[in-house]
Amino acid sequence: MKPVAQASASAWVSANAGSGKTYVLVTRLVALMLSGVAPEKLLCLTYTRSAAAEMQERLFALLSDWTLMPDAKLAAEIKARLEMTPDARTLRLARTLFARALETPGGLRIQTIHGFCESVLKRFPIEAGLSPHFRLLDEQQARAMQADLVRAQINSADPERRASIARLTRHLTEDAMAQLAGNILNHRDKFPANEAIGARLEKIAQTMDLPDWAFDIEVLLQAHAEAYLPSVVPLISALSQASAKSDRAQGERLGNWAEHARAGAHASAWPHLEAVFMTKEGAPRARLVTAAFSGAHTPIVEALVEQGNAVAVLRNRLNAAQALALTGDIYRFAADLIAAYETAKYRLGVLDYDDLIVATNRLLSSRSATQWVLFKIDRGLEHILVDEAQDTSPAQWQVIAALADEFFAGDAAHAAPRTVFAVGDEKQSIYSFQGADPTGFEKMRSFFAEKSEAGGGTMNFVPLIESRRSAPEILAAVDLVFADPSRAEGLMAAGT
The pLDDT tens digits of the residues spanning 357-407 come to 999 998 988 766 667 787 777 667 889 999 988 878 888 999 999 888 777
Q: 61-65, 129-133, 466-470: which range is least confident on average?
A: 466-470
Distance CA 303, CA 87 (A): 94
Contact of 354 with 186, CB cutoff 8 Å: yes
Q: State residue 110's pLDDT score.
A: 93
Q: State residue 429's pLDDT score.
A: 62
Name the band, by pLDDT with cuts 50, 70 and 90, for residue 412: very low
Asked whether the predicted pLDDT for residue 294 surpasses 90, the reply is no
Beta strands in 414-455 (DSSP E): 419-424
Cα of first residue to Cα of last residue in the chain, in angstroms, is 22
Asked whether the predicted pLDDT for residue 89 surpasses 70, the reply is yes
Distance CA 81, CA 5 (A): 9
Q: State residue 125's pLDDT score.
A: 92
Asked whether the predicted pLDDT for residue 344 surpasses 90, the reply is yes
Compute φ and ψ for 299, nearest 5 degrees: -60, -40
Q: In what order do the strands lie in the sheet with 110-112?
A: 110-112, 42-46, 383-386, 419-424, 10-15, 459-464
Q: 226-240, 338-352, 463-477: which range is least confident on average?
A: 463-477
Measure Cα distances from 283 to 247, 287, 304 in Å. 18, 11, 17
171-189 as b/e, with b when 16 or more CB fall inside 10 Å?
eeeeeebbebbeebbbebe
Q: State residue 494's pLDDT score.
A: 58
Q: Which residues contact 320 (CB under 8 A, 6 or more apart)?
A: 208, 209, 210
Specify the DSSP class assigned to residue 469.
S
Distance CA 450, CA 456 (A): 10
Q: State residue 76's pLDDT score.
A: 95
Can you tell me the mean pLDDT for 462-488? 75
Asked whether the predicted pLDDT for residue 433 surpasses 60, the reply is no
> Which tens digits make up the pLDDT trace of 305-326?
888 888 888 888 888 888 898 9
Contact of 444 with 397, CB cutoff 8 Å: yes
3-state secondary structure of 284: strand
What is the reported pTM? 0.76
